[in-house]
Amino acid sequence: MQDYLHRKDKNLVSESIAHEHDSDMSERRQMTGYKQHPNDSKLSELFNIHNSFDNISVGADKKGTMTIAVSSEKELGAPTLGSDRKLLKGSRRRKLYEHFGELYTNSASPSNSAFAYKARRVLSENRLMSEFKRAADTHLDRKQREMAPFLTLDEDRKELQKLRGRQSNDSETKAETGMLEHSVLRKTELENRFLRKLRIARRRAVPKPENEQNRSFLEKLSDMLDDGTEDNSEENTKE
């Protein structure tokens, strides 16, 4: 049976209540678990989800570039927690990945560190999540990814499919399957919840167009139709 099923689960899906905090861009609230690089555009936390152990913080700069930071408060059964796990420090961060975004850990202990994913451009919440997962799967170990449980969801789904494929009736396999089914269900719920909050956060973070050139086609078409209606009504009145 897999090690992660033997131990007491301590991640965000283990507690009946995972606390949330939502912020507005105007609050300029500092992101939890991430002290950004002095040269970066200032980030404001939009929301975080946390429990007694781990924290997922989502923020954005004025241009709408999103950052997801994952950190720990403490380890299960451990009296203290190394500082690298509690806080990602931008002044000594290490870039592990660069594609549609950038993945960072602390340089001193990258395999035992808080981490952050920064999108290089405005992405949809689904694309942001898929690129975040791709970066984490490639560069972070399972223990780190469990700090944000949805990062191990795809892996658990594949393992569950293998267990179901065995078609075994022995008690150990049935117990393992049941535990993993529960874990997948809870992680799926957290992922959906996170995506819903991320969608709302992106709408608040993306700056509104400031000039005509940046306006969408639908906005321009709507204005053209309004103008046409007003002109026709004036002509009809004159007649």
- Residues 141-194: pLDDT tens digits? 998 999 999 999 999 999 999 988 887 778 888 889 999 999 999 999 999 999
Residue where the block lists tokens 């905090």: 21
CA dist 222 to 57, 112, 219, 230, 233, Å? 37, 53, 5, 12, 17
The pLDDT value recorded for residue 23 is 64
Question: What's the whole-model pTM score?
Answer: 0.76
Cα–chain center distance at 80:
26
Q: How far apart are CA 89 and CA 33, in angstroms?
A: 9
* CB-CB contact of 84 with 114 (8 Å): yes
Sign for the pseudo-dihedral over CA of 37, 39, 40, 45: positive
Q: State the angle between helix axes of 125-139 and 171-205 in degrees (0 to 180), rounded to the nearest 10.
A: 130
